[in-house]
Amino acid sequence: MQLTHIGGPTVLVELDGWVILTDPTFDPPGRRYGFGWGTSSVKTSGPAVPLDDLGEVDVVLLSHDHHADNLDDAGREMLSRAGVVVTTVPGARRLGDGARGLDNWSTTTLTRPGLPALTVTATPCRHGPRFSRPIAGKVVGFSLTIAGRDRADLWMTGDTVMYPELHAAADRLAVDVALVHLGGVRFPMTGPVRYTMTAEGAVELISALRPRVAVPVHYEGWSHFDEPVVRAREVLQASAVCDRIRWLTRGVAETV
């Protein structure tokens, strides 16, 4: 498997001939985006790979369509270039154009001539504290499994905090490579509560999941990330799962 971290949650995945893109964000930096309910964030860095250099994409995995740090304007425009867009059920209704919406633990199988069948399974997320769904909206993660394999090739956690249903998902899944969304998001108006996972949460998740490789993403490039990258690296390096962690260099295709 080859991964290229483009920035934020955006990763280009090349898996057995399939070209997969997660949460497309390609706008330049500098703009402030509103997230609703008085929350907002400034994009502080642009994509490490320009959209024009992206090439053909078979599948877009979109954890949610309603926050610009997961789907910005340029990312939204590129969706029409992708073969299939897989997202939440309400997101698919909003996007239209054949987007496939999945509820938690539902699946869709993708086929393309000359490639092995690829099964996509939606996994649970909670994008904030308890009872935050009306504010944060519906979010999902995704596991990907090539036909004939007994474990998922890839799991993208999506934007989530650690909570019992996610821990149960980690116990249920067998995963080769995990893309773990970090950042410890906070907003001034909501005080100490978190809207995405911290490095401590990631240690708990990875300990339960035990993937061959865990790749941190979505920890930089936006002003609403509250956990500094240096802090996240320190926590993960000092943990019992340090040998499973792989930090990617943005813009560089790396085999994992």
pLDDT for 129: 85
pLDDT for 38: 77
Regions of the chain short of the pLDDT cut 50:
none
pLDDT for 149: 96
Q: Output the domain CATH number for residue 74.
A: 3.60.15.10
Range of the domain at 125: 2-255
pLDDT for 132: 75
pLDDT for 188: 83
Count of Cβ atoms closer than 10 Å to residue 184 Cβ: 22
Q: Give yes or no for a contact between 94 and 114, defined as CB atoms under 8 angstroms apart.
A: no
Q: 229-237 vs 199-209: helix axis angle to the nearest 10?
A: 40
pLDDT for 90: 98
- Residue among 193, 192, 218, 214 at smallest CA distance from 204: 214
Three-state SS string over the chain comes to CEEEEEECCEEEEEECCEEEEECCCCCCCCCEEEEECCEEEEECCCCCCCHHHCCCCCEEECCCCCCCCCCCHHHHHHHHHCCEEEECHHHHHHHCCCCEECCCCCEEEECCCCCCCEEEEEEECCCCCCCCHHHHCCCEEEEEEECCCCCEEEEECCCCCCCHHHHHHHHHCCEEEEEEECCCCCCHHHCCCCCCCCHHHHHHHHHHHCCCEEEEECCCCECCCCCCHHHHHHHHHCCCCHHHECCCCCCCEEEC
Number of domains in the chain: 1
pTM of the model: 0.96
pLDDT for 194: 94
